[in-house]
Structure 1
Amino acid sequence: MSDSIAYTQVSSWIHDFKELTKVRLALSVVFSSIAGYLLGIDTFNIGHFVLLALGGYAMVGASNAFNQIIEKNLDAKMKRTKNRPLPSGSMTTNTAFFIATLLTVIGLSFLFIINPITAMFGAISIFLYVSVYTPLKTITPLSVFVGAFPGAIPFMLGWVAATGSFGIEAGALFMIQFFWQFPHFWALGWWLYDDYKEGGFFMLPTGKRDNGTAIQIILYTIWTLIVSIIPALGVTGDLKLSIVAAVLVFISGLIMLFYAIKLFQKRETKYARQLMLASVFYITLIQIIYVSDKYIRIWF
């Protein structure tokens, strides 16, 4: 019986840890960082690769944990978040704070071992997400603009981890994920509008599910498409993209644009959800295309 209880307690703790750190979001960030790392390296370093993966997860996990501590009472008001560890009472605030602090130390230490500039960007990401973006979410729709900065760091962070420097290449990767943030989060904000309203969050640029918001989603989707193929023009230093890869990236972007236009035409929640899913598909696919294109050009 005692073994069964212990197993249940461990399973419950693992579940709460995954919820507190938002495991799926954290893993997607790690994926972006690894993609940037593979784009930037000349020689693969297994030690740096592992440190980046673990440090990246810890960094994002810490940001998410601090975020949930700050928004504990607001999370309790929303259907999709009321069962998180803090509002449900399955984890104390002190425990969550200890985990968040420990993850911050672990994450930044691992990134510092890779190189100091990587740790610096990791620290900036945590600070902006926790101290600026999170408080602004209940005050102004501009929070999405502020949140786009830490949200755009992972892809670029991998390149910085690989090269130890920030240049035009890292800047281009940053801009790709920066512009992508807007259609992604506005689609999410449109889809979960009622739930966000219960929590007092302002996510949409006009504050409403209207034509103004839909038009801005289309415009930022177009900007995302444009910046995603700029490396094919040969103006981004060592970050290159073949014409074939650029065409694939552009076609992938047209899928996202299709759903953005559908949302503008219909203004129905289901199209916002489809756009949000399409945006996740897009950023994941283009990162795979970028990395694949690099190594196909090297090998062939």
Structure 2
Amino acid sequence: LLWLLLGTALAAGSAGALNHYWEADVDAKMIRTAGRPLPSKRLSPILALNFGVLLGLGALTVLVIFLNPITAFLGGLTIALYIFVYTPMKRKSTLNTFVGAIPGALPPLAGWMAVQNHFAWEALAIFLVFFLWQMPHFYAIAWLYREDYAAGGFIMLPNVDKKGNRLAFEVVFYAAALVACSVWMTMAVHLGWIFLAGSTLIGLWFLYKSVLMAIRKNRDTAKQVMITSFFYLPVLVGALVVDYCVSAGF
């Protein structure tokens, strides 16, 4: 478990550092990111690049030596998709949010592979829950900071969908799909009623806030979706841990 956590942390750090290096010029144009180390000139770009590469190499080394090649491959794929596909896509298409959610959901899949060392439907269910959660989460952020994203040249859905109708539909669609997928995850992974109850309740609350955002289309409801999304994963994982402990008789 410790090697998995270390490898995942190194991979996430690598993707973050390389993203900051790649987007330093854009970050300088946005209020939200202008204070980051690179656009504020507090850190050398070449140092950030080297740091990101070293973290990535460290992640792959840890994952392949102490776990297995499949987990290492997923770690490398996470970094590659985030840097070479998602990052440049933010300036080209509104699909960047959908594409970016893929590397965002790969670490839980890597965790499954680290233990099981093979793919199964249970792994797909876990991947989809983390994938679907990101869509309302990042759409809410994109709505709140749409002027900032526009200043940076990012093509985000709220900037293209001026009336917000498509955004409203997608926020509700993904939140509803998340509730359904968490139920499927309960059955696929053979979890108990504690996880089912916890994931369903927080999922329905997330859906409720998403519906409000879709109806009202204002900053307040978008902020509520964002805040609810912050609570979703801790509640989900907490319910999973409690469910396992109860079923195992701890």
Offset from partner CA, 1:187-212 (integer Å, 9 cap, x none): 11111111111111122277235122
The aligned counterpart of 1:220 is: 174
Q: Superposed, which structure 2 residues align to 1:127-142 within 5 Å?
A: 127-142=80-95
Q: Distance in 1 between matches of 2:186 and 2:48?
A: 45
Percent identity among equivalent residues?
Answer: 35
The aligned counterpart of 2:7 is: 55
- How far residue 255 of structure 1 moved from its aligned partner, in angstroms, is 1.1
Q: Distance in 2 between matches of 1:206 and 1:193?
A: 6
- Asked if the contact 1:206–1:212 (Cα under 8 Å) also holds between the matched residues in 2, the reply is no
Q: Distance in 2 between matches of 1:115 and 1:212?
A: 42
Q: Distance in 2 between matches of 1:115 and 1:291?
A: 25
The aligned counterpart of 1:35 is: none
Q: Distance in 2 between matches of 1:145 and 1:231?
A: 21
Q: Superposed, which structure 2 residues align to 1:101-116 within 5 Å?
A: 101-112=53-64, 113-116=66-69
Q: Superposed, which structure 2 residues align to 1:61-140 within 5 Å?
A: 61-112=13-64, 113-140=66-93
- Given residue 81 of structure 2, which amino acid in structure 1 is its aligned partner? L
Q: Distance in 1 between matches of 2:205 and 2:17?
A: 33
Q: Distance in 1 between matches of 2:122 and 2:80?
A: 24
Task: Provide TM-score, normalisation by structure 2.
Answer: 0.95
- Asked if the contact 1:245–1:290 (Cα under 8 Å) also holds between the matched residues in 2, the reply is yes
Q: Distance in 1 between matches of 2:110 and 2:241?
A: 15
Q: Distance in 1 between matches of 2:201 and 2:80?
A: 36
Q: Distance in 1 between matches of 2:222 and 2:190?
A: 32
Q: Distance in 2 between matches of 1:124 and 1:205?
A: 28
- Given residue 127 of structure 1, which amino acid in structure 2 is its aligned partner? A
Q: Distance in 1 between matches of 2:144 and 2:127?
A: 26
- How far residue 266 of structure 1 moved from its aligned partner, in angstroms, is 1.5
Offset from partner CA, 1:90-141 (integer Å, 9 cap, x none): 1111100110011001111111121111101001110000000000001101
Q: Distance in 2 between matches of 1:71 and 1:208?
A: 24
- Asked if the contact 1:75–1:199 (Cα under 8 Å) also holds between the matched residues in 2, the reply is yes
Q: Does 1:297 align with 2:247?
A: yes
Bigger mean CA offset, 121-130 vs 145-154: 145-154
Q: Distance in 1 between matches of 2:51 and 2:198?
A: 41
Q: Distance in 2 between matches of 1:141 and 1:56?
A: 27
User: How many positions carry a matched residue from both structures?
Assistant: 248
Task: Provide TM-score, normalisation by structure 1.
Answer: 0.79
Q: Distance in 2 between matches of 1:207 and 1:288?
A: 37
Q: Superposed, which structure 2 residues align to 1:178-217 within 5 Å?
A: 178-204=131-157, 207-208=160-161, 210-217=164-171
SS of the residue corresponding to residue 35 of structure 2 reads: coil
- Given residue 48 of structure 2, which amino acid in structure 1 is its aligned partner? A
Q: Distance in 2 between matches of 1:208 and 1:75?
A: 23
